[in-house]
Amino acid sequence: MFHLVSLFISSALAAGPVVAPGINSSRVVPGRKVTSEEVAQKLSSVKVITIGHIDGPHGARFKQSALASLNKEKQGQYRTAADVGASAVGGLGQAAAAATGIAAAGSGVVGAGIVAKKAEGVVEGGSEKAAARLDGVDRHPAEGFGILPDGGPTTADRIRAGAEKVADRQGALDGAAKVAGAVGAAQVETALGLGKDAAKVTAAFFRAGVEGNSPRFVGVHLPIEAKADGEGDASITAKVNLKKLPDEEYIKKEKKKKRDKNGKVVKDSDGKIVWIVVEIPCTKRTVEIRINSRLSLPAGDVIAKTSYSATEVDDVCGKKRMQKIKSPEQMATHHVGAAGGVWGQFIQPQMDSIRLKFFPTGSTALGIDHILQNRHAAGMCLLKDAQSHDEKDAAAHYNQAIAYEAWGIYSDALTHFVIAEQDPAFSKGRWDNGAGRIRSRNTELALMKTAYGMVPQPTAFPHAETCPSVDRTGAKAVTKRVDFKDGAGGDDIRRLYEGEQIKVLRTEGKWAEVEQLDGSVGWVKAKRAFK
């Protein structure tokens, strides 16, 4: 019999455990101010933006920040919130924190600053919710808007390099092993067995090591260039207003050691230090800052505008406080820079990264497992088989929609979301609004076409030419969630969901050798699987 696992070189058994029902997907969206067809039409003629007159202090700072924000290729968000939290639960937080000092925000290293004990505690609690947060795979629509790596050192390379420098931190490695064992992460345990190699431990939880992942985007193709001066199709102008409030004078009381005229600490007859209370004059200065800026066409038609407001306080004590306290202009410096620095995210297209959450059930979990190993064709065959057995299987429709959305096949995703959302389970909580998300995506694509002339490249799902038939003869439904192992008492492959169909091939004591619907074979505890 031809099994689904034959669609791929590696089988489900060889791939290791997957407990993450989610796909991290990055796609390019319009700038934050490009929210209507009217704005998009105005922006459609703009290829070059110049920075015009800045009325008020720190005009050069505003101009510098605006230019930098508009011309940087790394626009937007490249990681999801779930991405960060997942790595802490999975042990990467602990391994990376011990292995490298690279900052998460600057390098894309997930978990570089996450406290190890928290990660251990969450996983050791045995929470299904915690396990579900583990990373899945990266799948980004190949629409042609994002910039791909040029083949230089990746974030994973930098992590490994950092890990090698501190491979002797035995405690951190033991902690990573403890976390790995709690979630059945056999690949990490294997790495630990190979000479306690910190680099391998870290890489084991890094998604870059999952074969078939989409490479992480490193930037966005920018349709608009910004220049400091010269001719442009539109210009940014700004007005900086500073309002200094009256200075507040007050006295701060401070306990200090008493000293004689020679500076020596004074003590009483019992040899104890004498303390005195001194009054120190202080000045508190408050400045209200308001910066209005706009992007306009040469004829004066406003494309977008924004207002930045802040209150800055400087508080200085001592006799020389008036020489030390900042002037209103000094207090406004970084705020003026911040006001100029928002224009990139407002006007240029942005990367947006979201977590697409699967909904595993007895009929769909095996298909999801294949997709989370980047065996998308086999996974889709199994989901379609589930649908063929029950056209009203909302989970089969919903999970197909998630897979299609990750690939950028939005029309098919919308069809399946609409069907799935007829079921109440997909109209609440984290699972709702898939159809709404696709409609919003279609609106975003239309706005980008108008504003930037950006049109997505054609995308296609890697369907199998023919899905092999799934033989359910003699299959039994799992009645309780159970671990599917590579041998009687062996390592976990994955966790079976209630309702999954498996065939019992033979029994050996309390263990049963079983075959999944894709033809892969493993072992379960018989009494737990079939109560």
Q: How many domains does the chain have?
A: 4
Distances, alpha carbon 307 to alpha carbons 64, 340, 459, in Å: 18, 11, 40
The pLDDT score that the predictor gives to residue 146 is 95
State whether 295 and 406 are in the same domain. no
The pLDDT score that the predictor gives to residue 81 is 57
Q: Residue 346 half-sphere exposure, CB side, CA atoms within 13 Å?
A: 21
State whether 139 and 197 are in the same domain. yes
State whether 38 and 24 are in the same domain. no
Q: What is this structure's pTM?
A: 0.76
| Contact present, 18 and 483 (Cβ < 8 Å) | no
The pLDDT score that the predictor gives to residue 94 is 36
> Can you tell me the distance from the alpha carbon of 98 to that of 159, in angstroms, rounded to the nearest whole number?
11
> Can you tell me the distance from the alpha carbon of 171 to that of 177, in angstroms, rounded to the nearest whole number?
10
| Contact present, 359 and 398 (Cβ < 8 Å) | yes
- In a domain, residue 270? The reply is yes
- In a domain, residue 463? The reply is no
| Contact present, 41 and 316 (Cβ < 8 Å) | no
> Can you tell me the distance from the alpha carbon of 505 to that of 475, in angstroms, rounded to the nearest whole number?
10
Give the pairing of strands 48-55 and 234-244. parallel
- What pLDDT tens digit does each residue of the chain (531 aa) get? 444 444 433 333 333 233 447 888 999 999 999 999 999 999 999 999 999 999 999 999 999 999 999 999 999 998 775 555 444 434 333 333 333 222 222 333 333 233 333 333 333 333 334 344 444 688 999 999 999 987 655 444 444 444 444 344 444 444 333 333 333 333 333 333 333 333 433 333 333 345 677 888 999 999 999 999 889 999 999 999 999 999 999 999 999 899 988 889 999 889 899 999 999 999 999 999 999 999 999 999 999 999 999 999 999 999 999 999 999 999 999 999 999 999 999 999 999 999 898 999 999 999 999 998 888 999 999 999 999 999 999 999 999 999 999 999 999 999 999 999 999 988 777 777 899 999 999 999 999 999 999 999 998 999 988 888 888 999 999 999 999 999 999 988 888 999 999 999 999 999 999 999 999 999 999 999 998
Tell me the residue range of the domain where 90 lies.
81-216
State whether 61 and 93 are in the same domain. no
> Can you tell me the distance from the alpha carbon of 462 to that of 407, in angstroms, rounded to the nearest whole number?
9
Select from 452, 467, 491 the last residue of a domain.
452
| Contact present, 407 and 421 (Cβ < 8 Å) | no
DSSP helix/strand/coil, 315: strand
DSSP helix/strand/coil, 187: helix
The pLDDT score that the predictor gives to residue 484 is 94
Select from 183, 216, 249 the last residue of a domain.
216
| Contact present, 184 and 491 (Cβ < 8 Å) | yes
CATH number for the domain harbouring residue 295: 3.30.160
